[in-house]
Structure 1
Amino acid sequence: MEITQHNASVFIVVRYVVYVLSQLIHLFCLSFEGQKLIDHSLQTRDKIYNSLWYTTTPKSQRMLLFVMQKALHPVFLSACKIYIFSRENFTMVVQTSMSYFTVLASLE
């Protein structure tokens, strides 16, 4: 909470701001790639369904059906099964962080 105090030096303020911004950029990049993975896995099912699957052999049709069934649940990138990297979760983290910062800043 040094950064919210009026007697903090410029160097300390810049250091904290750069640190927070770099962490936000890092989280955004991971969330962006995680969202791309989710979107791609959901598009796989749609592309198979919209293809000419009915003109293939029965064995291929069964395999495509299996792939479509597996694609019902999107593939995602997670951090120890606690946090799923997506745009929605990134927005939630930023909003929650700003709320906590606002509460802590108002307590002084």
Structure 2
Amino acid sequence: MNFIVNATNGIVKDIHAIVDSIYGIVKAKSDINIAIAEAIHGIVKAKDDITNAIVEAIYDIVKCINGIVKAIQLHLWNCFKANYGNTMAINGSSMSFLMPFMALLCHL
């Protein structure tokens, strides 16, 4: 009788070892899936961060170009105002040609 009890205990221990192994495999698979999901989330976040940085850089470049254009417009308009009378008297035809463009630059 003792032999049957010992054999049954051995079988139960073997079953427990098998169950523990299966649980370890399932847990490892779950941990791998979590790690993959976290890696994908990190990649997506990095992509979003890179996209945001590119958009901000483009916005800053556009603001810079806009400032340069406004500075050029102001300079040209000031030159136009300062030289309007003398230039018209000396070279009326070229000033007549440039006047609409200078006015356009002023109003942009």
Query: Scaled by the length of structure 2, what TM-score is found?
Result: 0.44
Instruction: Answer with 1 or 2: which has the greater Rg.
Output: 2
What TM-score comes out, normalization by structure 1 length?
Answer: 0.44
Structure whose residues are more often helix by fraction: 2
